[in-house]
Amino acid sequence: MKKLLLSLVAVAAFAFTTQAQTEKGKFLVGGNVGFSTSKVDGANKSDFSFKVIPSAGYFVSDNFAVGTGVGYSYDKSVSQKNLNQAFEVAPFGRYYVGLSDQFKFFGQLSVPMAFGNDKAVDVDGNTGDKTASTTSIGAYVSPGFAFFPTKRVGIEVSVNGLGYNNYQVKNELTGNKVKTNSFGLDANTADINLGVQFHF
């Protein structure tokens, strides 16, 4: 009887630890930060891009969280003579499946939206007048794994997955619009995303 009681306590403790980070009523806080620079041969200045999108979510039920990211992106391409700056919003839904007490698989559906503008850039990297307004709306399904070294910290590895994007550019002078629609699968293991989420 004593062994049975101890076994039940162990199973209950295991079940609690596997769900403690992702149970209903918990919050997750994290984000995405990116930075890159490159220089084309013959260009006077380097191309430079930066993105920061902090995010927060809430577990509306065990293992299922909804939330959003809100941030800013800056992409200055001297080689293409263009600067794009955009305000970004990325609502998401994420579902976790426990594999062990420290590892969980997750699938995430996100709908990133970016609203920005293009500006002219000269060969020396100086920014000029606005040339266009830009709008990007997408939908992406991404798989990933989360490792929990503690109950409050999740280290994540994910790949880009299946996605759709609609990109629109409206010329500032003529008002003409050019739209580009793209759809595809981009689960490239060479393009792995790393992140950290904090669970409260």
Q: Which residue has the higher pLDDT, 84 or 33?
A: 84
Alpha carbon of residue 78 to chain centroid: 26
pLDDT at 169: 96
Find the mean pLDDT for residues 175-188: 86
- Would you say residue 133 has pLDDT above 90? yes
At 57-102, the pLDDT tens digits run 999 999 999 999 999 999 999 988 999 999 999 999 999 999 888 9
- Would you say residue 135 has pLDDT above 90? yes
pTM tops 0.85: no
SS3 state of residue 7? helix
DSSP codes joined into one string, 120-177: EE-TT--EEEEEEEEEEEEEEEEEEEEE-SSSSEEEEEEE--EEEEEEEEEETTT--E
Q: How many CB atoms sit inside 10 A of residue 50's CB?
A: 14
